A and B are shown apart, each in its own frame.
Chain A
Amino acid sequence: MTDLGIAIDSSTEAGGRGAFRMFLRNKAAVAGLVVFTFIVLVTIFGPAIYGQEAHKMAAGPFLGPGDDAGPLLGTDYLGRDILAGVITGGRTTLFVAAVAGSMAMGLGLVVGSLAGYFGGWIDALLMRFTEIFQAMPSLLFSLVLIYLMGPGTWKETLAIGLTLWALPARLTRAEFLRVREMEFVKASRAIGSNDLRIMTRTILPNAMPPLLVAATLLVVIAILFHAGLAFLGMVDINTISWGSIMGKNRNYTLTAWWTVAFPGIAIVITGLSIALIGDGLQDAFNPKLRGR
């Protein structure tokens, strides 16, 4: 543990560079990063390049992929282009996932670090509160929130973000509990740093590695949550997302598989690539693997 080589009150600069080398050594993680970068670029620039507007009718309904009369990946029940939908829908899905993931991570960091650093009754209070959220099935909780607030991209983001913070909160607390007893923290306190400085500048950077990995997982979970909500028909049907394409075509799964399969594949590939990146980060930050 102590061979992390991190100086008192330093950033993770040196460790960061080493970690990046470790990350590059993990082929799967690099592949994940490449794929994910590609997906992000496609969702940003794809719609303009592809041209077909995703919400407009492009051809007749229910044309299969490869059907000469229709676009490459076929059309849905209104004759909308599935490929255009997948390209455009990624924006909403990734946006919701990124914002909801950050929201959950942020909330979790604040709650977890306060609980872990101060301990005592603050810890007890915050952790009981966290347990309330942990005890509830998150997807059902999201469903209830959306049912109460109504659909809409921001509301969906909020509903997902508000239900996922318990996991990072517990993790942050555990890391803070571990790090706060270390020598360099005591040293930092000895030279007169205040609580905020110790928390943000001393403990947090050293607690960061597992939290970064957790953050990637949160994004994956948020993608799946949004897809799940959309599949159940609980999201705004005027906004195109991978999940909403699947949800709207749910009734045609047996008869027009392509309407559900391609957005589903997009979700799987994105989720997998982010998970691989997370895996790589975990390896990169694992001191036991360093120098191998």
Chain B
Amino acid sequence: MNQMFYRWMKIVTLLAALSLFSAACGSSDSDSDSSSSSSSDSSSTAASDDAPAASDDAPAASDDAPAAEEEATSGPAAPQPKHGGTLVIATTQVGANVNHGVNSGIGIAQPSSKIFASLTHLDSNWEPQPYLAESWEVSDDSLTITFHLVEGATFHDGAPITSADVKFSIEVIQANHPFTGMWGPLESIDTPDDLTVVLHLATPHPALWIAVSDVMMPVMPKHIMDDGTPINEMKGHPNNVEGAIGSGPFRLTEYENTQKIVLERYENFFIPDRPYLDKIIYVIVPDEDATMLGLESGEYDSGGYASVINAEKVSNNPDLVAIPDLLGGVGSLNHLQFNMANSIMSDLRVRQAIAYTIDRDYVINTLHQGQTMELLGGIHPSSPFYNEDVERYDVDLDKARSLLYDAGYGDGLDLRINYIPGPNEQQRNVAEYIALALDEVGINVEVMQSADLPSWAGIFFGGPDAWHMTMNAYFNWGDPVIGVQRAYVCANIRPGVFVNNSAYCNEKVDELLYAAAAEPDVAKRKALYDEFQVITAIELPFYGINALPIFGANQLYVRDQPDGAWGPLSGMENIWLDK
């Protein structure tokens, strides 16, 4: 009998331990240190030294040399970049495929930005820098933009990258990508020769410079993907998964989307002598503690995490380099989202009562130990268009109670809150706190948990009665036209994708957003976005909590971490390992 007991104990313990740590054993190889192609002495100036020929109101080419080149010129002390090595990156994000042109999401963007090259890089000042396009011109009326492609660039199968591929890629993105605002004003694309792409716009479109940059513009092979698949069904094309042929610095060689993604150096990449790395391996590690243990033991070279406790730990660890925000320009907004299609939540007084009850300062200063930024307006605080001069709904429990009374819920109210599975401190913990806080004003809140993203999304897209409120994170994706506008305009009330899932609709807001999208003057554009944020902060389709950082950590020997606006969601052709 005792034996049986111990056997059971063992089984139970083993099972629990297994499922916990199975995450950690995705891959354990950082073997191939073969420093191949040792022609690192050349340190040839890549395409980026010739400043792009920009004109007047286009985001001007910056005069400071791209950061990537700095190591070549910053004195004898700086170590020379070396070829070779494998970079093992631990990530919690799983994507449905590896092509960010047909779908959005960090899990897709990470490998996609390596496999597919874009027209431009965005530097840390949000200025475009040459990448696949070596130069460009913008017409005086900002309506015609001409890109000149690098000569001799090839796809991973050796076929040349031509203007036809760029045109095709933009069409695929337009037809499939959820960020419809990116290419909204595009009227037509001309390809006068193999290396020239001319974009004709209906209205000036400042967000275009985001749309052609790094992760947003994977240039896809027309000769492979234009095989009779209808353009709006490219999501299902086999070139988005195993065996994908891309245009970027790394080839996809192994793809197990919930386990690991292996990328290998593409020998004939169009920037000579790049990339430095032989291999990038993304290991999917769902558990943050496993990521931390792997970073501390040196199993992973780089990793991301969201817990503020872990952030503190990393900054105290001399063997690791802390990266303040791994997602760069993605700009994640953490907020309480209301389902305004629901009969209870459609009442503004109920939403206001909830807003008056939640103590945002408590969340940020106590639960997040002051490591996150408060979010008041609907745009990411790092954006120049952020407006913090809006209704704050400071805590006022009496007002909340009277609002509920007026709304007919004086006797109390039963609501459900769920949360997008992700960093616990940002989502679950805040949801649990909100449930406790609302208890004070007579709203009984049941916290619902979802086992994984698909089951949460099933509820989220489930219609008026499927959910009341959810702790959700929307990504800003650089420009408000891309990441913000989609969540507010009436035309975007449709299920199945991350658009206007609050079912919020205000014609005035629509007007402001559409006007701002086409406004080339930055000051006027800011005024329009300011007003938009004032209105939406009052009407509460979302109640902003905080800007969500994804902290990162690198081993000391990881050099030249991309510092552009997209951070690691870029080609990574300049990263190298100093070991």
Residues in A lying within 8 Å of B, measured CB to CB: 55-57, 60-62, 77-79, 137, 139-140, 147, 151, 167, 210, 213-214, 217, 220-221, 224-225, 228, 231-234, 237-238, 248, 250-256, 275, 278-279, 282
Contacts and interface: CB of A to CB of B under 8 A. Distances in A.
Which are the 3 A-B pairs with shortest beta-carbon distances?
A255-B309, A224-B12, A228-B16
Contact of B436 (A56, A221, A252, A275): A56
Interface in B158-173: none
A76 to B, nearest CB: 9
Given A61-B366, A233-B451, A256-B309, A279 B12 contact: no
B367 A217 contact: no
A221 B12 contact: yes
B289 A254 contact: yes
B479 interface: no
- Of the listed residues A55, A61, A233, the one surrounded by the most CB atoms of chain B closer than 10 A to its CB is A61
- The size bracket of the interface on B is 20 to 34
B449 A233 contact: yes
A36 to B, nearest CB: 16
6 contacts: A55-B436, A147-B451, A151-B449, A217-B1, A232-B16, A238-B447
Contacts of B432: 78, 237
Nearest to A218: B8
B42 interface: no
Contacts of B310: 255
Given A56-B436, A238-B447, A228 B429 contact: no
Given A78-B432, A78-B436, A137-B15, A255 B425 contact: no
Contact of A251 (B12, B289, B433, B447): B289
B451 A234 contact: yes
Nearest to B6: A275
A224 B309 contact: no
B313 interface: yes
B432 to A, nearest CB: 6
- Of the listed residues A55, A60, A78, A79, the one surrounded by the most CB atoms of chain B closer than 10 A to its CB is A78
Contacts of A231: 16, 20
A78 B1 contact: no
Contact of B424 (A213, A221, A228, A251): A251
B19 interface: yes
Given A77-B367, A251-B307, A221 B8 contact: yes
B446 A238 contact: yes
Contacts of B215: none
A139 B429 contact: no
B356 to A, nearest CB: 19
Interface in B407-427: 424-425
A278 B433 CA distance: 42
Contacts of A77: 367, 424-425, 429
- Of the listed residues B4, B5, B20, B287, the one surrounded by the most CB atoms of chain A closer than 10 A to its CB is B5
B2 interface: yes
Contacts of A279: 1-2
B289 to A, nearest CB: 6
Nearest to A55: B436
Contacts of A221: 8, 12
B134 interface: no
Contact of A278 (B1, B313, B449): B1
B330 interface: no
Contacts of B446: 238
B426 to A, nearest CB: 12
Contacts of A139: 11-12, 15-16
B2 to A, nearest CB: 7
Contacts of B20: 231, 250
Contacts of A60: 366
B506 to A, nearest CB: 35
Contacts of B16: 139, 228, 231-232
Contacts of B5: 217, 220, 275, 278
Contacts of A57: 433, 436
Contacts of A282: 1
Contacts of A255: 307, 309-310, 313
A140 B449 CA distance: 19
B292 to A, nearest CB: 7
B436 A214 contact: no
A237 B313 CA distance: 28
Contacts of B515: none
Contacts of B289: 250-251, 253-254
